[in-house]
Structure 1
Amino acid sequence: MKDLVAIVRNQHLFAPGETVVVAVSGGADSVALLDIMTRLADERLKLIVAHLNHCLRGAESDTDEKFVADLATRYHLPFVAIRVDVASFAAAEGLSLEDAGRQARYAFFHEVARRRGATGIAVAHHLDDQAETVLIRLLRGAGATGLSAMKPSGANLVKRPLLKVSREELELYLNGRGLTWRTDETNSDTAILRNSIRHELIPVLKKYNPRVTERLAATAEILAADEELLDHLTVSSFDRLAFSANDEVVFGIEALLQEHRGLRLRLYRHGLHELRGDLMCIALTHLEAIDRLACSCRPNAGLKLPGDLRVERCYDRLSFTCAAPSAPRQWEQDVPGEGSYRLENGMTLTVRRVERPDDLATGSKRIVHLSADAAPFPWLVRPFTPGDRFTPLGMTGSQKVKELFINEKLPLHERSRVPLVFSEGEIVWVAGVRVAQKGRVTSTTGAVLRVEILDITP
């Protein structure tokens, strides 16, 4: 039997002493993951068990929650759970139960990570899940980016340490360790695409190649390596061919058309992502429309894309812009002292006095420590306005907050929601983005304030 602990350790996904949220449903995969994570003794990980009750199976869902709670107690680990009526959420948002459940889970895991200062979220996706994902995306018409499927270290803190381990190997591990798990009967419902692929399509494919799951996962790994190379080439070419200014991405058409079409399409994707922060609803047809615009003989023309994105051609310039939302209502919030304050943008700011920590690094941009003497109350919190400046921690000169947003690649539509925290008329924190030099904690600081911004809206 494979040494699964060694397989996870040798991927070096977790730093020594790291705080990690472990997503545990109670199924075989996540129970095995939790046990393996507790055996990474050299890493000295601080683990938090997180469970989302989907409320889809009545008493069975509640029993799953209790099973995971008991599991956390057995390992002497903190346990966090939440109940979400996924069926109602799916109906309200027009989503499938699978998509609604996934959105609810990851929103919950990230909220737990923010609250606990975790820098990793471990999920139990394994080799068979990877193979199924490749087939799902192939059936839906994905290109190489989609077919590269899941990565061991994904975006937004997510880690997948079991991608090289099969479902069968995980069950062998559990049996060898004398561990039990819960079985979700809905996993047999072939009306769900993933279940249909697992129970119907893959058995057929195994008639042609008994190791088809391993081959599909290996294909995804090869494509992921290719994607890494192509991403590097795209970013390098983007830096050479495009410039960003005033919330606009601009290409010179003459130089752009010297590049291969495949690279041009990737450059368009990159430019759109730079503006909006995601590529939701952007399909190949949109990228091809941009390319036709770039290749057109018309000196002036434009395209409107989903999500208020617009592409304009003006002679030798191809510019990408994201229409700014209507100007947000200006607001101000007074913070006279410690406490919890609900802000008008839907966020919550919490302030409390703590002992000076030995290590000021919180592992999260949403939590900072400030000197009560250097940043005295009352504070003022308000959104960004043009012309705001501050001195970032560790710097001597001031910087425009707008430049900070650009450097941090913060999408235009998110900038108006970022609260600025002021003390004595100076910014002490661009909340969730960067702390200022003013208010810094030094070796001589007495009272220390722990300040956290909670984003409780989607």
Structure 2
Amino acid sequence: MTSLLSRLRHHLARTRLLGEPGVALLAVSGGADSVALLDLLHALAPELGLSPVVAHVDHGIRPDSGTVARAVGELAERYELPFEVGELSLGPGATETVARRARYGWLGEVQRRHGARYLVTAHHRDDQVETILLRLLKGSAPAGLAGIPARGRGGLVRPLLPFPKARLVAHVAELGLPVHDDPANHDPRHLRSWVRTALLPLVAKRLGARAGDDVLRAGRAAARERRAWDGVLDHLPDLGLQVEPHRIEVARGALARYDDVLSAVLLRAAARRAGLVLGVRRARQLVALARRPSGRRLSLADGWMAEVAFDRLRATRAGREAAVEVVPTGERGSAVFGEFRVAWTPDPAPARLPRADWTTWIVGANWEVRPPRPGDRLVPLGGIGRRPLRRMLMEARVPRGDRPGYPVVARGETILWVPGICRSADDLPRPGTRAVRVDVTKHGEPQADGRA
């Protein structure tokens, strides 16, 4: 029989799941599957160019959790690998969902701290079968029946999905490696444990040992369908799909030309590109939202908010950088203002200041960058009278959700400039005189967004 190590080496060469060198954070619970992961990737690390780091999460749910953490630490020492342990102290009442979110939150922090290219977990074939069945029982749409992907967002990799748990258990037993069997894995009060210990044995008894293979075949078919819908998005230019981290936008007009079922499927496929999981009901609600007036909003799960923004339907996730007031110090410098970067440097004022641009010139000091305030007004360069800033943001088609964090350059109560929208007629520098050049860009973009 081909060894597990050889089979994994072949699997990784074929799929290139770990195809680039770098730091790999290994999530090791102490169970047989994660201990097998640790042993196997430690052996393959030199040829893959990986630098493994062992990470263990002590949820603080069971009284013996500290003992398990020490055992994993000893394993890491045995393999001469760096070790990180997170003590979450969740308490015995913590649910599976709470524990999972806390676990991945901590693992993400450790991954960033180590600059790890990969976060590697030990999900295996049995986990995949259980996941597909659970999603079927909960009424998941076909895309959900695709199960656990081998690759996830943020460098998440699951290299053991093709291998059954029994083979991983046999591997660690052959090596005499210490493992911890969590009693929760056999407690039928947990839904996944009930599927594992009660439902699956009944299915196998009635349908035979191939029942698990049949479930996986259905999952592979669902995964192919999900990939197909993702590919369809690239052949619909009228949809105007834009995807950024924590943001997705589509053209409302294009959605209106499709029937509701097709629109919902396309929205679900588009949302997955941004890491937003939309159920069928939520997708239908978004289709209905797209028909409503600009400014209407719908709260989604996990901090996501959908919004009708003029001719666009968009969804954004909370947690973006807060727009903290910027007070320049020194003649030159730069600072972050929410999603924007502000840079300033001495520069003679030009003969003519543009009215709507992402660069302007300011005379003197004591200016600041701040968010809009209630009652803000300004006199537009070349205009007449004082205009409400709220109205100007709306006319510039700044989405409602972006307006509270939009940059405003002011001196005291006087607004000098609204980047990309309007230069004020107040405090204009004379051509050729000493001034401060101010540039505003969005992170990673040469110019903020082209509204100017």
Say if 2:321 and 2:338, in contact at 8 Å, map to a contact too.
Answer: no
**1:152, distance to aligned residue in structure 2 (A):** 0.9
Deviations 1:180-204 (A, max 9, x none): 3111112121100000000000001
Matches within 5 A, 1:90-109: 97-109=95-107
Match of 1:62 in 2: 66
2:284 to 282, 288, 296: 288
Say if 1:49 and 1:72, in contact at 8 Å, map to a contact too.
Answer: yes
Deviations 1:106-146 (A, max 9, x none): 11111111111111011000000011111111111101111
Matches within 5 A, 1:52-131: 52-58=57-63, 60-87=64-91, 97-131=95-129
Secondary structure, aligned partner of 1:39: helix
Matches within 5 A, 1:189-228: 189-207=187-205, 208-228=207-227
Question: Is the alpha carbon distance of 1:163 and 1:285 closer, same or farther for their aligned partners in structure 2, counting shifts above 3 Å?
Answer: same
Confirm whether residue 279 of structure 1 aligns to residue 276 of structure 2: yes
Confirm whether residue 306 of structure 1 aligns to residue 299 of structure 2: yes
Match of 2:50 in 1: 45
Whole-angstrom distance in 2 between the partners of 1:435 and 1:242: 19
Amino acid across the alignment from 1:20: A
Greater alpha carbon shift after TM alignment, 49-58 vs 379-388? 379-388
Question: Is the alpha carbon distance of 1:283 and 1:73 closer, same or farther for their aligned partners in structure 2, counting shifts above 3 Å?
Answer: same
Whole-angstrom distance in 2 between the partners of 1:82 and 1:155: 22
Amino acid across the alignment from 2:214: R
Whole-angstrom distance in 2 between the partners of 1:414 and 1:39: 53
**1:4, distance to aligned residue in structure 2 (A):** 2.2
Secondary structure, aligned partner of 1:206: helix
Match of 1:383 in 2: 337
Question: Is the alpha carbon distance of 1:62 and 1:242 closer, same or farther for their aligned partners in structure 2, counting shifts above 3 Å?
Answer: same
Whole-angstrom distance in 1 between the partners of 2:320 and 2:58: 38
Match of 2:28 in 1: 24
Match of 1:183 in 2: 181
Structure 1: runs of 5+ lacking an equivalent: 337-376, 391-398, 402-411, 419-423, 437-458
Say if 2:320 and 2:339, in contact at 8 Å, map to a contact too.
Answer: no
Larger radius of gyration: 2
Say if 1:387 and 1:400, in contact at 8 Å, map to a contact too.
Answer: no
**1:2, distance to aligned residue in structure 2 (A):** 4.3
Match of 2:142 in 1: 144
Whole-angstrom distance in 2 between the partners of 1:199 and 1:66: 29
Say if 2:341 and 2:441, in contact at 8 Å, map to a contact too.
Answer: no
Say if 1:333 and 1:382, in contact at 8 Å, map to a contact too.
Answer: no
Secondary structure, aligned partner of 1:131: helix
Match of 1:265 in 2: 264
Question: Is the alpha carbon distance of 1:400 and 1:318 closer, same or farther for their aligned partners in structure 2, counting shifts above 3 Å?
Answer: closer
Tell which has more relative contact order, 1 or 2 (C-alpha 8 A, sep 6+): 1
Amino acid across the alignment from 1:29: D
**1:21, distance to aligned residue in structure 2 (A):** 0.1
Whole-angstrom distance in 2 between the partners of 1:125 and 1:434: 35
Say if 1:311 and 1:318, in contact at 8 Å, map to a contact too.
Answer: yes
Whole-angstrom distance in 1 between the partners of 2:145 and 2:294: 34
Count of residue pairs brought into register by the alignment? 353
**1:279, distance to aligned residue in structure 2 (A):** 3.4
Match of 1:165 in 2: 163
Question: Is the alpha carbon distance of 1:198 and 1:330 closer, same or farther for their aligned partners in structure 2, counting shifts above 3 Å?
Answer: same
Say if 1:271 and 1:320, in contact at 8 Å, map to a contact too.
Answer: no
**1:210, distance to aligned residue in structure 2 (A):** 1.5
Say if 1:51 and 1:81, in contact at 8 Å, map to a contact too.
Answer: yes
Deviations 1:198-251 (A, max 9, x none): 0000001002132222322232233212211211112432x3323669x99453
Match of 1:6 in 2: 6
**1:284, distance to aligned residue in structure 2 (A):** 1.9
Amino acid across the alignment from 2:204: K
Whole-angstrom distance in 1 between the partners of 2:109 and 2:441: 21
Matches within 5 A, 1:257-406: 259=258, 261-269=260-268, 277-279=274-276, 282-291=278-287, 304-307=297-300, 308-311=305-308, 319-320=313-314, 330-332=324-326, 381-384=335-338, 388=342
Whole-angstrom distance in 2 between the partners of 1:272 and 1:117: 27
Match of 2:229 in 1: 230
**1:79, distance to aligned residue in structure 2 (A):** 0.3
Whole-angstrom distance in 2 between the partners of 1:101 and 1:110: 14
Whole-angstrom distance in 2 between the partners of 1:381 and 1:302: 30
State the TM-score, normalizing by the size of structure 1. Answer: 0.65
Question: Is the alpha carbon distance of 1:98 and 1:240 closer, same or farther for their aligned partners in structure 2, counting shifts above 3 Å?
Answer: same
